[in-house]
Amino acid sequence: MMHYSDGELIEMFHNSDNPDYAFSLIVNKYQSQIYWHIRRLVIDHEDSADIVQDVFVKAWQAFGNFRSDSAIYTWLYRIATNEAISFLNKKKRKSFISFNDVEFSLSEKLEDDNFFNGDEIQKKLQKAILTLPPKQRAVFNLRYYDEMKYEEMAKVLGKSEGALKANYHHAVNKIEEYLKRG
């Protein structure tokens, strides 16, 4: 399969007789990255898969208005992050439970997750990350796992680079504290 640049994919979407094909290439190019970004936020495989579908449905509906002032993956990450955080907030509201209880519930799911293939150290890191508030968790995951630059993260999360650096620093400190205790 040929790999297209974002510019080529955008051009193909807007100027071909088959925008569906162009969009399917975008899905194929970014689906795995988006899935793992969401999965690290919501933990559960089935929930993550559902959210990925929602992300690409929203992206499909809005792609005609995509202005190309950011990379496609930045735009998709923004949609994915918002969808994952909205999912977590809805879950908290539906359950009438506190954030700590949601974190405990996600931690329990991690223990029972047949799709998790990390070792005990990775599981412990994931549990530490789950203690972070959702937005801080997103900042940590984007920087640590996706190695995203603060400039790109600012576009994804709509925050200043300084605020993101501070969030990342606080997240690292909280994770270190958790790992020292456990």
1 domain residue, yes or no:
no
- Which pLDDT value is given to residue 1? 53
The CATH number linked to 163 is 1.10.1740.10
Residue 149 CA to its chain's centroid (Å): 15
Radius of gyration, alpha carbons of the chain: 17
**Residues 54-81: pLDDT tens digits?**
999 999 999 988 877 778 999 999 999 9
Q: For residue 18, what pLDDT is reported?
A: 86
Residue range 11-34, pLDDT digits in tens:
888 888 889 999 999 999 999 999
Between the alpha carbon of residue 61 and those of residues 43, 44, 50, 76, 149, the distances in Å are 26, 26, 17, 12, 28
**pLDDT tops 60 at residue 39:** yes
Helix residue ranges per DSSP H, the chain: 6-15, 19-42, 45-62, 72-95, 99-112, 120-130, 134-144, 150-157, 161-181
- Domain range enclosing 122: 6-181
Instruction: Note if the pTM is more than 0.85.
Output: no
Helix axes 72-95, 45-62, angle to 10 degrees: 130
**Confidence (pLDDT) at 3:** 84
* 43 is a domain residue: yes
Residue 99: inside a domain: yes
Question: Within a domain: residue 150?
Answer: yes
CA 9 distance to own-chain centroid: 22
8 Å CB contact between 133 and 101: no
117 vs 157 pLDDT, higher one:
157
d(CA 102, CA 152): 29
Distance of alpha carbon 41 from alpha carbon 56, whole angstroms: 17
pLDDT at 140 (0 to 100): 95
- The whole-angstrom separation of Cα 105 and Cα 34 is 23
Look at the chain and report how many structural domains it folds into.
1
What integer pLDDT is reported at residue 43 of this predicted model?
85
